[in-house]
Structure 1
Amino acid sequence: MNSASASRAAWRPREGPVVCVGETMAALAPAPAESLERAEGLRLSVAGAESNVAMYLADLGVPVAWLSALGDDALGRRVRAAVGAAGVDVGGVRHDPERPTGLLVKEPAATGTRVHYYRGGSAASALGPEVLKDDRLRSASVVHLTGITPALSRSCLSLVEEALATPPDERPYAISFDVNHRKALWPPGTAAPVLRELADRADLVLVGLDEAQDLWDAGLEPDGVRRLLPHPRLLVVKDGGRSATVFGDEGSWTVPALRTDVVEPVGAGDAFAAGFLTGLLRGADMERALRLGHITAGSALQVTGDHGPLPDKARIEELLGLSAPDWARVNRE
């Protein structure tokens, strides 16, 4: 679809600050990437879907805050400093004196990287609806949530449910929701109905086609995901390294992904979300917003951590300004 008039008419949030809410952990990974059993050294970094989005938004020049809780410990202080150093407002992050900062350990293998979580009873698992009273939400244009948070605890589920309880037309800000299904965090058989219900209440939803198939129906295609989630103003279905499609009331738009040499896929979905959100906030048409999502995702795919450097501004503008045939040609080179 894809007329320019329809693209201009598509819904988008008003321009303004973004608030990201969710847990970030300290992350350990072998350096260089090898088996944990043989590694002689581990690299310490930070890992959290919502803070990944926040850091990429900051890289792209969008004012953004991250709300969460960390332990009152060395790892918590390191996480907060790292996210703040990226240009994110971390003034709303609380340090819990009784609960630890969560920990994630990556285990590289020939079949892909396995992730081990040590986050039970973490400071962030005690988050609840009180987070939504933070003053930063008063001026927010978008609040970004993910399907990870409701899996952490009953209070975290309540936080997300309360954020989505207000009907879209009555919200003071738009709500962006990345499904971000983490199978290890959910008791068997519980994730699918909860995530579908939560996602269908949001204004903007992002979901991978593979995770939609894993959650709801192995035979799903992008338009089938839209039928399952008919209410979001915009639904983005990401088909791996092939393409992304956004569905709105005015129709749908599909843009092929950029061809990228993949070092590690972790964090690419968060980067895509930040790029796409940035495009929307700046009034870009849907194709351009999808392109910015792909460009930002590419920077995450090329590093072992979750947060990689973006191309320089001139290169981003060059890619965004390509004709559709030239964009497709870049993907073949």
Structure 2
Amino acid sequence: MSTAPAEVVCIGETMILVTPTDGPLSAASEASLGLAGAESNVAAGLAAAGHRAVWASRVGDDPLGTRIVDELERRGVGLWVERDPQAPTGVMFKDPAAEGSSVRYYRRGSAASGMAAGMLSTERLSGVRIVHTTGITPALSVSCRDMVDRLYADARAAGALVSFDVNDRRALWSLEDAASALARLADAADIAFVGRDEAERIWGTATATAIRAFLPNCPLLVVKDGDIGATAFAGDAEPVFVPAPVVEVVEPVGAGDAFASGFLAATLEDLPLAERLSAGHAAAARVLTIAADMPPLS
């Protein structure tokens, strides 16, 4: 990594992903190990696009934490990571099935759930242009929720924009808690990403226009609508819509994170909104066509 200050800092939990390769979890005898973390996916995408991206988090002082750190280092991601000698690195199992894959989390009490307010101070964030996190992080623990609230204030005091991807995870908290917290954080962000389907699920807003009316204060709101396209609302200007390219989908997981990385990379380059949306679609397409959350290293 360059010694120049980070352009983007992405903060959140990354887990080890265990995926059976010869059947469902209940019967498989072989599996592959990978990484599962929305914020580290975004950091890796930004690094692949040539930007100085940092992943900030906590991992256990264990081999799984080392595996995560080593993999992100190989991808050119800067690391602001604390090692916890008491709490473990989280693990996620994917359970493949013909009707659709499901996941099982083993992250309660993980090292990352111990992130707390002040983890990234204004001084630490000096020179950073964007701080990015997702709705997964405040769902991990009360201290993580406090950390995200403080992060908004410290990032802005450092002169950085706050980027927030709603990224609702139903298994992590109640619908009532999620709906209120995610709305508050998305509306308070400088840049917010939300899927039209997840917004309808948690807020009952069925269209991009309805989502904008529900989140009126976010200066730049991006509503993603799967294979239809994405719409950007910037202040009171007319919304900008760019259709999604047609691709043969192998695995949808990680596409939303890739979209955010492409959009944020184009934002750092001060491109027009339509080009930022196109960059997001292009990054998402690269992940949709492979069975992994991140593109393979060349």
- TM superposition score category, shorter chain reference: over 0.9
Alignment match, 2:82 = 94
The 3 A distance-change label for structure 1 pair 136 and 61 is: farther
2:126 counterpart (125, 138, 154): 138
1:213 aligns with 2:200: yes
Kindly tell me the number of residue pairs found equivalent between the two proteins.
293
1:61 counterpart (45, 50, 57): 50
Q: What amino acid is the match of 1:266?
A: V
Q: Measure how far apart 1:164 and its partner are.
A: 2.4
TM-score by length of 2: 0.94
Alignment match, 2:232 = 246
Structure 1 vs Structure 2: percent identity of aligned residues?
A: 45
Alignment match, 1:256 = 243
Aligned 8 A contact 2:60 2:86 in 1:
yes
Find the residue that maps to 2:271 and give its secondary structure.
Answer: coil
Give the unaligned 5+ runs of structure 1. Answer: 1-14, 313-333
Q: What amino acid is the match of 1:103?
A: V
Alignment match, 1:327 = none
In 2: Cα distance, 1:71 partner to 1:59 partner: 26
Q: What amino acid is the match of 1:132?
A: L
Aligned 8 A contact 1:25 1:104 in 2:
yes
Q: For residues 79-111 of structure 1, what are the alpha-carbon distances to aligned partners after superposition, in whole Å with 9 as ceiling and x for unaligned? A: 111111100001x10110000000000011122
Find the residue that maps to 1:266 and give its secondary structure.
Answer: coil
1:225 aligns with 2:211: yes
Alignment match, 2:14 = 24
The 3 A distance-change label for structure 1 pair 93 and 47 is: same
In 2: Cα distance, 1:264 partner to 1:140 partner: 33
| Structure 1 residue ranges, 4+ long, deviating more than 6 angstroms after superposition | none
Q: What amino acid is the match of 1:211?
A: E
Larger mean Cα displacement after TM superposition, 233-242 or 299-308 = 299-308
In 2: Cα distance, 1:258 partner to 1:85 partner: 30
The 3 A distance-change label for structure 1 pair 199 and 227 is: same
Alignment match, 2:289 = 302
Find the residue that maps to 1:220 and give its secondary structure.
Answer: coil
In 1: Cα distance, 2:137 partner to 2:6 partner: 24
Larger CA Rg, structure 1 vs 2: 1
Q: What amino acid is the match of 2:178?
A: A
Aligned-pair Cα RMSD in Å: 1.8
Q: Measure how far apart 1:135 and its partner are.
A: 5.1
Q: Measure how far apart 1:129 and its partner are.
A: 1.5
In 1: Cα distance, 2:10 partner to 2:153 partner: 18
Q: Measure how far apart 1:187 and its partner are.
A: 2.6
Q: What amino acid is the match of 1:232?
A: C
Q: What amino acid is the match of 1:41?
A: E
Alignment match, 1:79 = 68
The 3 A distance-change label for structure 1 pair 167 and 77 is: closer
Aligned 8 A contact 2:136 2:168 in 1:
yes
Find the residue that maps to 2:171 and give its secondary structure.
Answer: helix
Aligned 8 A contact 1:23 1:124 in 2:
yes
Higher helix share: 1
Aligned 8 A contact 1:299 1:309 in 2:
no
Find the residue that maps to 1:44 and give its secondary structure.
Answer: strand
Find the residue that maps to 2:231 and give its secondary structure.
Answer: strand
Find the residue that maps to 2:9 and give its secondary structure.
Answer: strand
Find the residue that maps to 1:93 and give its secondary structure.
Answer: strand
Alignment of 1:145-294 (within 5 A): 145-165=133-153, 172-217=159-204, 220-249=206-235, 250-294=237-281
